[in-house]
Amino acid sequence: MKHYLYLAIGAFLMMCSSHAQLTATPYPEEIHIPALQTDHRIVDRAFRIAVGDLVGNVGRYKAGLLEQESLVILAGLDYDTPWTRDAAINAWNGASLLMPAISRNTLLSVLEPAELGVRIGGEYWDAMIWATGAWNHYLYTGDKNFLALALEAVRNSLLFFENTEFDPATGLFRGPGWSDGIAAYPDAYTSGMASGIIAWPAAHPDRVAKPGVGIPMEAISTNCIYYNAYVCAGKMAQALASKPEPLWIEKADKLKAAINQRLWMPDKGTYRFFIDPDGSCDYQEALGHAYAILFGIAAPPQTEAIFKNLHVAKAGVPCVWPTFARYENAEGTAYGRHSGTVWPQIQGFWADAAVHQGKTEIFAHELFQLAEHAARDLHFAEIYHPDTGVIYGGMQEAGQERGIKLWKATSRQTWSATAYLRMILFGVAGMRFDTDGLNFQPCLPQGLSKLTLSNIRYRGMTIELQIEGNGTKVVACTVNGETVGTPNLNADNTGSKKVSIRVE
């Protein structure tokens, strides 16, 4: 049985003349399908569905720095374009392993020429997540031509947002949190019945912040993204053998301190959602907490407090908790589209944060819940109900005539599918990438005791991984039959590698 699929085409990616080093992709537009076999039927079934949803959302597109139509990853079945944050998150979640050239095309398609050079496009407040996606694309592929352009885009974008959205009074960046939908935000940020937060500045011209777009909130997830963009910029410069700008390190340190000073709530053991000139919203934004742990912003005592205090629902961690009163019903069964509901891409990061900290039970809850939902529905939906786990689009404003209504949860959402791939590749299989190579720190929770993952393409290698046992401690490892002290593969290795690991 073949464990891969090639979608090879003859054309290569053509770039604009100002970026001549990118006139052709360094690797063909292929898709490498990995195969998973465990002793948990639903986990395996969900993996096949996730790969199918991802591959099914590959389409042709031309925008940004793509001068001709190329294969890209669309945001989902109901979308005909990539989105900046989706492009970055999908690449980071492992799409750049399965389809490196197509992921690269997608990341390039959301860049745009600007007066001072190429810059990251898309919705402004979380556009800098592109830096994290681009850095991880490099770790998976070793593509230094792409990395050089990525560094230019990140440098220019950081400078732009420093001049337009940075608030020197707080040391934080302005902008909404994880969502563009108004259902993520309290009543003060509604604008009639507009469904998007971006409508707020025009509806409240007397309250806008200047300069910039004008939304005055300073949110945890957004500022974590900026912090990691500074970190990634420094890593990009080092990988390219150029001296990192010292201010990137200094700015990252100052931003980390401001996040912990302004947004951490010692009495609650969690971060607040955001602050603004009128005060704060102390709701829990799950994505911000996951980022704070994954990016090393939360200190160990804070991390322990977060795992103890963050609310997790039966169906998984909610995006924002609790929901806002304007969406509730008498039965307690209604939730906002962007508050109270479970979004799988956030589950993926929360699960990853848990597995990195050895919180096996927390990781397993998200893994098995999402697997069961996908296996039941035969696809990965955009949103789920926190109590029942059914597909649920949530309540949100929908215009003056329709008021607040129940929205649809879109089908075969790409970042929902890649969130599950993340749980398997980086959680269960424990794949850890750095500039030197690939390490393995598996996590086999109760319910899983065997895993075989084959046809993983990493740079010049094709990897088959076998893991047995329960737990996270590696007690034995071989590579191509030879016993090794630590399970790792050097980035310069080539050929077939069979890695066998036993954990307890």
Which domain CATH number covers 491? 2.60.420.10
On whether residue 101 sits in a domain, the answer given is no
Q: How many domains does the chain have?
A: 2
Distances (CA, A) of 115 to 110, 280, 379: 16, 36, 42
pLDDT at 25: 61
On whether residue 353 sits in a domain, the answer given is yes
pTM beyond 0.85: the answer is yes
Parts of the chain with a pLDDT under 50: 1-21, 23
Are 321 and 349 in the same domain?
yes
Task: Give the CA count within 13 Å in the CB-facing half-sphere of 86.
Answer: 22
pLDDT at 67: 87
Are 335 and 389 in the same domain?
yes
pLDDT at 27: 79
d(CA 61, CA 99): 16
pLDDT at 114: 82
Q: What is the DSSP letter of 185?
A: S
- Alpha-carbon dihedral 45, 50, 52, 54, rounded to 10 degrees: -170
Q: Per the structure block, which two tokens stand in for 481?
A: 């039959």
Whether 195 contacts 397, CB under 8 Å: yes
Residue ending a domain, among 421, 449, 467, is: 421
pLDDT at 52: 98
Are 450 and 390 in the same domain?
no
On whether residue 451 sits in a domain, the answer given is yes
Are 417 and 456 in the same domain?
no
Backbone angles phi, psi at 165, to 5 degrees: -125, -5
Task: Note the pLDDT tens digit of each residue in 399-422.
Answer: 999 999 999 999 999 999 999 999
pLDDT at 6: 34
Residue ending a domain, among 371, 388, 421, is: 421
pLDDT at 5: 35
Q: Per the structure block, which two tokens stand in for 157?
A: 């974008």
On whether residue 61 sits in a domain, the answer given is no
Are 450 and 395 in the same domain?
no
Residue ending a domain, among 421, 450, 470, is: 421
On whether residue 146 sits in a domain, the answer given is no
Three-class DSSP category at 234: helix
Are 397 and 479 in the same domain?
no
- Its domain, for residue 398, covers 311-421
On whether residue 15 sits in a domain, the answer given is no
Are 405 and 475 in the same domain?
no
pLDDT at 7: 33
Closest C-alpha among 456, 469, 460, 459 to residue 498: 456
Interacting residues of 52 by C-beta distance below 8 A, sequence separation 6+: none
On whether residue 97 sits in a domain, the answer given is no
In sequence order, what E strands does 54-101 have? 58-61, 70-73
Are 322 and 404 in the same domain?
yes
On whether residue 326 sits in a domain, the answer given is yes
pLDDT at 243: 86
Are 406 and 343 in the same domain?
yes
Are 382 and 465 in the same domain?
no
Are 345 and 396 in the same domain?
yes
